[in-house]
Each structure stands twice: as C-alpha cells, then as structure tokens.
Chains A and B, each alone.
Chain A
Amino acid sequence: EDQVTQSPEALRLQEGESSSLNCSYTVSGLRGLFWYRQDPGKGPEFLFTLYSAGEEKEKERLKATLTKKESFLHITAPKPEDSATYLCAVQARGGSYIPTFGRGTSLIVHP
C-alpha cells in the first residue's frame, strides 16, 4: 500500500527564516510526486511535479527536491503570504494510479 508521511505537522517561522518541509513516501515504483499549497477553505493549488530522484524545481521562494525515499520543499526567506498548508502526493506506476496524499504541513510565517 502506498504511504505518504509529511513532517512536521505544523511549522512556525519568522519572516526571512528559511526552512524545509519533508515528505517521505513508500510506493511500488514512483511515477510522480506532487506538491500543492492549500489556503484555508480553498482547494489545493498545484506547485510542482517531480518524476525522478535528483530532480529539482523552483518557483519564487520555493524549491522542491526528490530522492528515492523522500522529497523536500525548501522555503527561502519566507514571507507571511507563504502561510498555508503544503500537501504532498505520490502516484505509483502500477495499479490504479490514484494519487495518495499526505496529511500536510501547516506553515505559519510571522511578520
């Protein structure tokens, strides 16, 4: 069974204090790993898709990296508007290819 574990569950940062969110996964052959950002009461907003170990993608203050067992979402010099819940999901090569989501990391950035 595919599993996704995100840590920490919650993270509080000061504006400008860089940090990383972790997504550990167990899947029988990774097809793709997705990162989404979700604001309270809204649907998840797509950020990145990673396909193979060693791949990196960047968008503004965010950088996502992928290894064979985990993915990191690095946040450089965060701002209060980066406050949100960050969700990670994996899609396996075999089976039903339905994405499995983690429970998310709730990030709060204080000014």
Chain B
Amino acid sequence: KAGVTQTPRYLIKTRGQQVTLSCSPISGHRSVSWYQQTPGQGLQFLFEYFSETQRNKGNFPGRFSGRQFSNSRSEMNVSTLELGDSALYLCASKVGGSFETQYFGPGTRLLVL
C-alpha cells in the first residue's frame, strides 16, 4: 500500500505571500491531520479533517487553514506568510477512528525569506 504523499517537498516563499500544501492519505484513510515541526517548538498540531469536515483545531492563527476533498486528499493554506512560518509541515493519515495510529508523510519543507 502506498504511504502518505505530500507535495511539494520543498518550497521557498517571501514574507506576505501565501502558500498551499497538498497531502494524499493512505488509500482507505479518511482522516488527515496537519502538524508544524520546528526545532524550537517540536511537533505542533494544526488541524484534523475527517470526511471533508474539520474535526479538531490546534492553537494557530486564522492565517492557517485547510480543507479536505471527497477523495480524502487535503490541502493546507497559509496566507500572509511570516518568517516564523518556516518549518517542516507534516501530514498524517488514519482510517478515521478517534484512537488510531497515525501514519506520517515525508513533509513539506517551507522556507520563508
């Protein structure tokens, strides 16, 4: 079974721009979660989508948003980029239940200049 895929793998943007990241979950998985990982803060939860609905949201500003499509693929958008948004953005998928193991993708490395 193919794993979680994320595109693009690397991205360079400048302050004030916006960016959209994409995630394709493991086949059959209906839940997709997004995380931000930085050396200073570690892994921080952004939000989770299940069946096209946001099920949980972390403590991030409204500049961070996401959506999920009917095929379970998900996108994450960050508007008005700030230098501090530079990070590894990780997507994780699971079948859908509350207490299940998540499987992570390789991540998108975002650098904001």
Contacts and interface: CB of A to CB of B under 8 A. Distances in A.
A38 to B, nearest CB: 8
Contacts of A32: 99, 101
Nearest to B91: A43
A98 B56 contact: yes
B21 interface: no
B109 interface: yes
Interface string A87-102: 1010100001111011
A104 interface: yes
A103 interface: yes
Given A41-B107, A101-B42, 7 more contacts: A32-B101, A43-B104, A46-B103, A87-B43, A96-B56, A98-B45, A98-B48
Interface of A: 31-32, 34, 36, 41-46, 49, 87, 89, 91, 96-99, 101-104
